[in-house]
Amino acid sequence: MIPFDETIPGNFAEAPAPENRAMPPIESPERKPVTVLDFARWKSLGRKISMLTAYDHTMARLLDGSEVDALLVGDSLGMVVQGKASTLGVTLDQMVYHAEMVARGAEFALVVADLPFGSYHASPEQAVMSATRFLKETQCQAVKLEGGRRMARTIRAVVDADIPVMGHVGLTPQSIRRLGGFKVQRNEDQIMDDARAVAEAGAFAVVLECVPADVAARVTRELPIATIGIGAGAGCDGQVLVTPDLLGLYDGFRPKFVRRYAGIGEQIQQAIRSYVADVQSSRFPNASESFR
C-alpha cells in the first residue's frame, strides 16, 4: 500500500545486491500449476508461499516466469495504476478487466482477484454474484475479500458457491474511512477472532496486513489455514507485496514494510531521457532502423 503512517527512507540498500542472489529458476520441469490445495500442503510442510500483485498481462507473464506462487489482482490498482488516494473507487468491471489480462498471463501461479469495495457488502448474495464474474469471465481461481467475523457469513456463501476465498484481516484498506487512515492494527484479540472466523467460514488462506509480527506469528500457529503477511513480520506462512513498490516503479510514499528489490522507475527515466535526446539530435532512427 502507498500512503501509510510509518515510512522508512531509502530501504533500497537493504536488499541484497543482484549479483549476490541466485538467478531464479525459470519454469523448472517439475513445476505444476498451483491450486488452492497447495496452500494447506505448503503450510503443513513449512514451505513459505510467495505472492505478488499484478494488474496486466505483461507483468503477469514476467512474475509467473519468475516462479512466484500466486498473483493477486489487487484493488491496490486504484492507487498504483489509477493514481487515486485509496482503493475505494475501484469498480467490479475494472477488476474483472484486469483479472482477465493477468490470468491469461499466468501459466503456473494461482491467480486471486480482489472483490472491490461495494461489490460484496450489501449481502452474501451480492458477494456470490460478484465473485462468480471472476470465475466465469476470467481464468482466476479464487477471490479475496476484506473483513473478519462480520464477513464470515459472506465468505461461507461464496465458498458454498464453489468459489475459493482468501480472507484479509488487520488493516483492511477498504475500511480506511472507519479506521481513520492506514494504521497498524494492534488489537490482538480482535485480529485473532477475525482470523479464526475467516478460517471457520471456509477460506483457504488469509492475508494479515499491518499487524505486529508477534500477533501474526500467533495467528499463523493457531490457524489451520495459510497466513499471507504484508507488514506482518516473518512468522507468516507466506508474504505478499505490491509489485510496483518492490520494483521501485512507484516513487510515492513507501511504507516501512516494503523492501525495494530494484529501481526500475529510475531505469525507465534514464532510458526515456536517452530516447528523447536521440530524437532531438536525429540519432534515432538510424539507417538500419529505417525502410528503403
Interface ranges with ligand KIV (CB under 6 A) = 1, 53, 72, 74-76, 114, 207, 209, 230, 240, 242
CB of 174 to ligand KIV, least distance (A): 9
Task: Calculate the CA 168 to chain-centre distance.
Answer: 11
CB of 80 to ligand KIV, least distance (A): 8
Angle at 236 between CA 72 and CA 120, to 5 degrees: 40
Based on the residue annotation, tell me whether 209 is a catalytic residue of this protein. Answer: yes
Give me the half-sphere count of Cα atoms (radius 13 Å) on the Cβ side of residue 150. Answer: 10
Quick one: angle between helices 92-105 and 57-65, nearest 10?
A: 40
Instruction: State residue 210 phi and psi, 5-degree precision.
Output: 50, 60
Looking at beta carbons only, is 21 or 84 nearer to ligand KIV?
84
CB of 253 to ligand KIV, least distance (A): 14
Looking at beta carbons only, is 124 or 255 nearer to ligand KIV?
255
CB of 1 to ligand KIV, least distance (A): 6
Contact 209, 168 (CB under 8 A): yes
Active-site residue identified among 209, 222, 266, 289: 209
CA distance 91 to 84: 13
DSSP calls for 139-200: ---EEE--BSGGGHHHHHHHHHTT--EEEEEES-GGGHHHHTSS-----HHHHHHHHHHHHH
User: In angstroms, what CA-CA distances link 64 with 18, 41, 83?
Assistant: 19, 20, 25
Q: Which residue has the cell 501509510?
A: 4
Pairing status of strand 142-144 against strand 110-114: parallel
CB of 63 to ligand KIV, least distance (A): 13
Looking at beta carbons only, is 53 or 119 nearer to ligand KIV?
53
Angle at 173 between CA 202 and CA 266, to 5 degrees: 120
CB of 207 to ligand KIV, least distance (A): 5
Residue nearest to ligand KIV (CB): 74
Looking at beta carbons only, is 53 or 141 nearer to ligand KIV?
53
Q: Which residues are catalytic?
A: 209
